[in-house]
């Protein structure tokens, strides 16, 4: 368990294609954050030779379902330890996690009490348009219309309750992500600046 006086965690949440990765990259350029994308960590583990969970991860991702929490939690914890011990960076943007209530509870109780959650709110149509563009170059097995529909459904059914949970704790900051990337970023940058610096 990390001490939340020494370790800062901001969750970046939102549906597929809302712009989580894009906005996190911009925050990394302006603030000293370690950006950990749960989806990226899962894809890397899926590719890792000798991984016991590779096949399981592949199936869940293709179906747009949430990989069992113990897998993702362990990957995040390992990456956090490496950042803290090797890179001496203990400020985290955790992107695409928690996506399911048990993940939120386990993280807050076992890993670290998060500072707040940034919810990138975006209409489904806009997310679908963005994913259609991304699918041309992403090489992701789940950037096809069938998987995308499943991911939208999982987002509404399984991940929105997490966002509602952080709202009920007064720990959720919602940002409208319909505008252009840089306009959205100015809003996000001001929020993070006020909360962190």
Is 92 marked within a binding site? Answer: no
- Is the Cβ of residue 13 or residue 80 nearer to Mg ion in the bound state? 13
Report which of 10, 8, 5 is spatially closest to residue 24, judged by C-alpha positions: 10
Q: Rule CB under 6 A: which residues touch ligand C5P?
A: 16, 38-39, 42, 60-61, 64-67, 72, 96-97, 99, 142, 151
Q: Is 184 annotated as a binding residue?
A: no
Q: How far is the CB of 158 from Mg ion (least distance, A)?
A: 17
Does 21 engage in binding with Mg ion (CB under 5 A)?
Answer: yes
Is residue 43 within the footprint of Mg ion (CB under 5 A)?
A: no
21 is in an annotated binding site: yes
Annotated binding-site residue? 96: yes
149 vs 193 by CB, closer to ligand C5P: 149
Contact (Cβ atoms closer than 8 angstroms) between residue 109 and residue 129: no
CB of 176 to Mg ion, least distance (A): 19
Question: Which residues are documented as binding site for ATP?
Answer: 17-22, 134, 179
Question: Which residues are documented as binding site for a ribonucleoside 5'-phosphate?
Answer: 43, 65-67, 96-99, 103, 140, 151
């Amino acid at each position: 368990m990390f001490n939340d006086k020494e370790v800062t965690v901001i969750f970046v949440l939102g549906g597929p294609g809302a712009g989580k990765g894009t906005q996190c990259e911009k925050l990394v350029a302006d603030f000293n954050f370690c950006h950990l994308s749960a989806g990226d960590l899962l894809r890397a583990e899926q590719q890792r030779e000798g991984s016991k969970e590779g096949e399981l991860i592949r199936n869940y991702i293709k179906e747009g379902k949430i990989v069992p929490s113990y897998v993702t939690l362990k990957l995040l914890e390992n990456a956090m330890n490496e950042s803290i011990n090797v890179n001496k960076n203990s400020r985290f943007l955790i992107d695409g996690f928690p996506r399911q209530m048990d993940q939120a509870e386990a993280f807050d109780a076992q890993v670290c009490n998060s500072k707040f959650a940034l919810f990138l709110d975006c209409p489904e149509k806009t997310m679908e348009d963005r994913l259609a563009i991304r699918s041309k170059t992403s090489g992701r097995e789940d950037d096809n219309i069938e998987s995308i529909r499943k991911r939208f459904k999982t987002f509404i059914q399984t991940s929105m309750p997490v966002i509602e949970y952080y709202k009920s704790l007064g720990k959720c900051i919602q940002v409208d992500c319909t505008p252009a990337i840089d306009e959205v970023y100015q809003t996000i940058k001001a929020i993070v600046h006020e909360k962190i610096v």
